[in-house]
Amino acid sequence: MFPSHQDMIRFAPEIVLCVAGILIMLIEPFAGRAHRRVVDVMAVLGAAAALAAVVLPMRNSGTAFSELLRVDAFSVFVHAIVGTVALLAVMAAPSYLDREALPHGEFFALVLFAAAGMGVLASAQDLITAFVGLEISSIASYILASYRRNSPRSNEAALKYFLLGSFATAFFLYGVALIYGSSGTTSLPKIDAGTTQPMLLALGLALLFVGLAFKVAAAPFQLWTPDVYEGAPAPVTALLSTGPKAAAFALLLRIYMTVEHASSLWFWALWISAVVTMFVGNLTALVQTNVKRMLAYSSIAHAGYILVAFAAQSALGTAAVLFYLAAYALMKLGAFTALSWLSGPGERHMELDDYAGLASQRPVAAACFSLFLLSLLGLPVTAGFLGKFYIFDAALKSHLIWLAVLLALNTIIGAYYYLRVIVAMYMRPARRDFPVGKVPAGIATVLALAAAGTIALGLFPNYVIEFAARAATMLK
Amino acid sequence: MAGSLALLLLRGDDRIWIRRLALVVSLAEFVLSLWLIRAFDSSEPSYQLEEARKWISSPPINYHIGMDGISLFLIILTTILTPIAILASWNSINDRVKGFFISLLMLEAGVIGVFVSLDLVLFFLFWEVMLIPMYFLIGIWGHDRRIYAAVKFVLYTMFGSILMLVGILWLFNRTGSFDLPAIQAALQAGRVSLSLNEEMLIFGAFFLAFAIKVPLFPFHTWLPDAHTEAPTAGSIMLAGVLLKMGTYGMLRFCLPLFPAAAHRLAPIVAVLAIIGILYGALVALVQTDLKRLVAYTSVSHLGFVVLGIFAFNATAAQGALYQMLNHGISTGALFLLVGMLYDRRHTHEISEFGGLATPMPVLAAFFLFVSLSSLGLPMLNGFVGEFLILNGTFEQHARWAVIAAIGVIFSSLYLLWAYQRTFFGDVTREKNRTLPDASARERGMLWVMAAIILFMGIASPLITSRTESSVRQVFDEMRRNDKPQPVFAKQNVSPASPTQEAQGR
């Protein structure tokens, strides 16, 4: 059956991303060295167009491609996050790629393909579609992680990511197979009705959970995260820690809220995983001296916070997850982007001591970086605070008082290591001349946009939270 | 009021102009806050000058501010101390001047925000936001161990406040509102009733945050570090107004919203407060560092305030409120003086001083005056507050009052002894002989502080008459919300307090 006009519209963002990626690959060899900026511009335009194309499915919600995809407010919300992440990532990348003498074209194409995969993941209504999306985004991510070819760390990161990632995908696929065996379908809304062997289904769902928990870096499947995030090039880390996470969380949510068997089965797994993830992430982040690695552990902790909202198992919880994902994407992307520039050529300056006295040399960059850190810490007037606020609210409404208290404790632990970076930047004397020059325009724009977004979500969240609430009702 | 801050953020980095601008802004706020007294109607016990705007639709968080007799003078205290703090750092801060004054003014805005918010989330927001400027004030412009002190300060406060956030949300889930007047109305009408257990837990969440801020005895360890390491202006603001946020919170939230829990836990709180009074005084006695000594007096004095609040009687609570203002002025002035000594000698060690009255008689005279006010000499402000607290407490629990009164004796002991070692006798260090006396700027500040101290000591009815009805309102609400608690609810007999002010004089 040939896809209809309507299907194409609902799939528009992914189509735009793929076309832009392919065009970049085709044009780059012809553009040559003299015109390499053409590729940069094209990538930005492609990502921006994809973000704009999100409007199309918003106006035309429904299913597409024989119910393989479901396009509704929920998937549109996640698409918007993914699109923003991709756009900011390609805007920030050129100066980094120049500095590290890395080719431009492939990088942008891979970022756009990865974003397309995440988009598929966000709107998948069928487990097979989800698997395809997962693979598209994962394979692009593996290559991106190894993008600094000459750096052993980058290679190590990629290899680790690839091996463990394939393993997790295998889990996922095996889970899908078992679910198909027990219910005769891979379409999410039909699984409950079709189930004949609940035990087999339970096993399948458990495997599915493992596969996705790996993708969102939830304990005990988080071990790959610090190495990969530290080793991958900083702009890639910015992308990896935000986009795929949002997409995988979206799929997890969709399964969790649509398949009733999953809701009952996963609750305690989520509860325990949330607690362990928060503590593991925060406690190990405490002892890190490498800022990039510290941020990697902090992103594990944040996955734990999001899982708390999951466990709430309500529309409010779903809205909280979505809002937090948006806030988290902005602040984390901002933080890693700032890092990608501050670390200097070869990313040699990642230690806490390297940041001593930064505030007096680069006041604006230091202020932006501090803002992202404070937002990650969850201080009011930033997006991070309201995100946490909604999670608390959802958890308490569902009577998960202990989970809320543990989350509160973790916030305090987190405060210590975020503040340490600020202490270094503002309160310690500069150790040596910091080797960074003027902020490149691309990175400056991204920092400004992310900072503005972080503040705007913290001060005027009405539109976003209402959208998230509407999206949440779509799932039930 | 807070809007004027934005101005400063845009200025360049011309030092002199930054100082002047900061001073002008803070003075303007002071004048504005004086206008509040005129606009304030002292016969009306509930909130006045309210302003409400929609902010976040779901959950309903609104920009709702307003004030009553309790917050009125705390606001004015804040606006008085800010220009003083700016003047105090006129010459001593020369590094990153712009950031310093921005932080100071942001701090002022945050504190005032705390005192006027009538929406719980808004309150929490200001409460947290004011941490950051204070953190930078201590951490960037502080003394040797400043980083340790700054981080300790933030972690302690945050620990309390994050649990308060959980408490706020829990309360929201039960009442469906973040709006303080709405919650009070719901509780009074009996539309929402919290089980005792629940009330105790939420009370605990709020109280812990406030107790850390005050700081009440076992939670006080951040305070000496923060004070000692902070720059003078930071100490003035910290002691003068930040600590009051804790006691303000107790009076505003803990008592009227959770009366049953408050009654039940009052003995524990009172014991902690009394331990704080005595312990603070004893530790102050053995300090060799003048600034640390003043810091420990705060622990002791704030113990009085908490005791006054948890005596559950309008007289004691009036006294507690008055003592909050006193402590802000007196301790603020003490820190100011200690800061002046530090500017001259760059040390706080008492043993480095000695016989300072000879080279600087004016400073010595002011120091004596302020010390006397802090230890509660009649005619000066400290006396009125302490007297009201002890009087009110005595009516309820005579034993508490007797033990607490010992603290008053200690306070004369440590302050006068420290004074003696610093200013009297022969000049023990050669370099102290040539120290300059107070400059015109310093004299100006000290005269203002001294005038306020004297004014508050003599003309206390001018202030208490404006706070009285609001304080009474707290206890009325408390009684109305607190229905079946026969064992723990003592009747709140509150005799007319103006007569006591007469005795106070």
Instruction: Please tell me if residue A416 touches chain B, with a CB cutoff of 8 Å.
Output: yes
**Least CB–CB distance from A379: residue in B132, B136, B172:** B132
**Least CB–CB distance from B58: residue in A379, A416, A469:** A469
Note the pLDDT tens digit of each residue in A195-224.
Answer: 788 888 888 888 988 998 888 888 788 888
Beta-carbon separation of B159 and A379 below 8 A: no
pLDDT of residue B3: 41
Percent of chain A whose pLDDT exceeds 90: 10
CA distance A407 to chain B (A): 9
Which single residue is written with the structure tokens 């006010």? B373
SS3 A35: coil
Nearest to B184 by CA among B266, B120, B116, B126: B120
Question: Where residue A114 falls among pLDDT bands split at 50, 70, 90?
Answer: very high
CA–CA separation, B468 and B317 (whole Å): 9
Judging contacts by C-beta atoms under 8 Å, the chain A residues touching residue B58 are 465-466, 469
Beta-carbon separation of A465 and B170 below 8 A: no
For an interface test with A, the pick among B63, B154, B161, B222 (most A C-beta atoms closer than 10 Å) comes out as: B154
Tokens of A82: 């993914």
Contacts of residue A30, Cβ cutoff 8 Å, sequence gap at least 6: none
Note the pLDDT tens digit of each residue in A413-462.
Answer: 888 888 888 888 887 777 656 556 677 888 888 888 888 888 888 888 88
Beta-carbon separation of B129 and A469 below 8 A: no
The two counts, helices (H) then strands (E), for chain B are 22, 2
Q: Where are the alpha helices (DSSP H) in B176-288?
A: 180-188, 196-213, 222-229, 232-237, 243-249, 255-257, 259-285
Asked if pLDDT for residue B266 goes beyond 60, the answer is: yes
Mean pLDDT of B157-174: 84
Q: How far is CA A221 from the centre of its chain?
A: 16
pLDDT of residue B487: 39
Contacts of residue B484, Cβ cutoff 8 Å, sequence gap at least 6: none
pLDDT of residue B482: 62
CA–CA separation, B144 and A17 (whole Å): 55
Beta-carbon separation of A426 and B140 below 8 A: yes
Contacts of residue B61, Cβ cutoff 8 Å, sequence gap at least 6: B55, B119, B121, B122, B178
Per-chain mean pLDDT for chain B: 76
Burial of B162 (0-12, 13-18, 19+ CB in 10 A): buried
**Least CB–CB distance from B147: residue in A392, A412, A427:** A427
Which single residue is written with the structure tokens 């936001």? B129
Instruction: Please tell me if residue A193 touches chain B, with a CB cutoff of 8 Å.
Output: no
CA distance B63 to chain A (A): 11
Note the pLDDT tens digit of each residue in B319-359.
Answer: 888 888 888 888 888 888 888 888 777 777 777 777 777 77
What is the pTM (predicted TM-score) of this model? 0.85
Cβ atoms A145, A231 nearer than 8 A:
yes
Beta-carbon separation of B96 and A360 below 8 A: yes
Most confident of A287-296, A438-447, B315-324, B381-390: A287-296
Judging contacts by C-beta atoms under 8 Å, the chain B residues touching residue A401 are 170
How many inter-chain contacts (A to B, CB under 8 Å) are there?
77
Question: Where residue B43 falls among pLDDT bands split at 50, 70, 90?
Answer: low
CA–CA separation, A164 and A169 (whole Å): 9
